[in-house]
């Protein structure tokens, strides 16, 4: 019995050390990407946003989507406000995330730029009524932020876990697309079994790149 307990304690210690190493690896990746993004000028971000907007609006699966879950860019993220407006203007029902106190994401409908109000952490959020956390599960396509994505679809977020929780609600056949700058699709990122892979990325000059998913 004692041998079994010692083995379990050893395994728990190994798991803990592996988890710490994994978190440190992700943190290193985040710092690299955020530093690179911090060097981009406002016009570079806007130009990237225009390239992503045009690529997304030309996708057949987005043209057929009745409801699209997307996000309003902040800081040095590729600019998405023109994309959100373009989707809404052509008649798509657009839902944007609203941060809850527990860190999960609720969703509310976008009804034009005037419908956006200040939210927590410097974010802008829809002022419309909240639709519930399961709203993302009913979307026909989901566009998500990422700092980087690898060739297996593993997504590096900011570490808060909000989008990870939301993406776990999205069905396996729904287009799940990350929006990146051109050099943020990489060969390999640290990933955990519970991570939800994206199915494609869109970049400003490369357009859409479908991803095969984990082997």
Residue pointed to by tokens 């728990």: 12
Query: Can you give the pLDDT at residue 123?
Result: 83
Helix 42-57 with 81-89: angle, nearest 10 deg: 30
**What is the 3-state secondary structure of the chain?**
CHHHHHHHHHHHHHHHHHHHHHHHHHHHHHHHHHHHHHCCCHHHHHHHHHHHHHHHHCCHHHHCCCEEECCCCCCCCCCCHHHHHHHHHCCCEEEEEEECCCCCEEEEECCCHHHEEECHHHCEEECCCECCHHHHHHCCEEEEECCEEECCCCEECCCCCHHHHHHCCCCCCCCEEEECCHHHEECCCCCCCCCCCCCEEEECCCEEEECCCCC
Instruction: Tell me the average pLDDT of the chain.
Output: 89
- CA 170 to CA 167: how far, in whole Å? 5
Query: Can you give the pLDDT at residue 58?
Result: 96
Q: Is the pLDDT of residue 215 over 60?
A: no
Query: Can you give the pLDDT at residue 3?
Result: 62
The CATH code of the domain that includes 171 is 3.40.50.10420
Asked whether residue 215 is domain-assigned, the answer is: no
Domain of 29 in residue numbering reads as: 2-210
Q: Is the pLDDT of residue 148 over 90?
A: yes
Mean pLDDT of 74-100: 95
Binned at pLDDT 50, 70 and 90, residue 140 comes out as: very high
Asked whether residue 103 is domain-assigned, the answer is: yes
Print burial letters for 73-92: b (CB count within 10 Å at least 16), e (below 16). Answer: beebbbbbebbbebbbeeeb
Total number of domains constituting the chain: 1
- CA 69 to CA 145: how far, in whole Å? 11
Asked whether residue 118 is domain-assigned, the answer is: yes
Asked whether residue 43 is domain-assigned, the answer is: yes
Over residues 151-184, the pLDDT tens digits come to 999 999 887 788 999 999 999 999 999 999 999 9
Asked whether residue 140 is domain-assigned, the answer is: yes
Query: Can you give the pLDDT at residue 11?
Result: 54
Query: Can you give the pLDDT at residue 120?
Result: 78
Q: Which of 191, 153, 160, 150 is nearest to 71 (CA)?
A: 160
Mean pLDDT of 21-29: 84
Asked whether residue 149 is domain-assigned, the answer is: yes
Q: Is the pLDDT of residue 214 over 70?
A: no
Asked whether residue 102 is domain-assigned, the answer is: yes
| Predicted TM-score (pTM) of this structure | 0.88
Asked whether residue 100 is domain-assigned, the answer is: yes
């Amino acid at each position: 019995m004692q041998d079994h307990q010692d083995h379990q304690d050893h395994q728990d210690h190994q798991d803990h050390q592996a988890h710490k190493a994994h978190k440190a690896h992700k943190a290193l990746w985040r710092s690299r990407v955020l530093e690179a993004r911090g060097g981009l000028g406002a016009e570079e971000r806007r130009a990237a946003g225009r390239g992503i907007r045009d690529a997304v609006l030309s996708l057949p699966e987005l043209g057929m989507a009745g409801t699209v879950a997307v996000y309003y860019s902040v800081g040095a993220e590729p600019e998405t406000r023109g994309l959100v407006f373009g989707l809404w203007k052509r008649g798509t029902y657009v839902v944007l995330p609203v941060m809850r106190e527990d860190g999960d994401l609720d969703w509310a409908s976008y009804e034009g730029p005037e419908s956006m109000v200040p939210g927590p952490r410097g974010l802008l959020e829809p002022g419309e009524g909240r639709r519930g956390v399961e709203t993302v599960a009913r979307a026909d396509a989901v566009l998500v932020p990422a700092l980087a994505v690898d060739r297996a679809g593993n997504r590096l977020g900011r570490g808060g876990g909000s989008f990870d929780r939301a993406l776990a609600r999205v069905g396996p056949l729904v287009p799940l697309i990350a929006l990146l700058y051109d050099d943020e699709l990489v060969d390999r990122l640290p990933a955990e079994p519970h991570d939800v892979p994206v199915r494609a990325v869109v970049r400003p000059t490369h357009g859409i790149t479908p991803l095969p998913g984990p082997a």
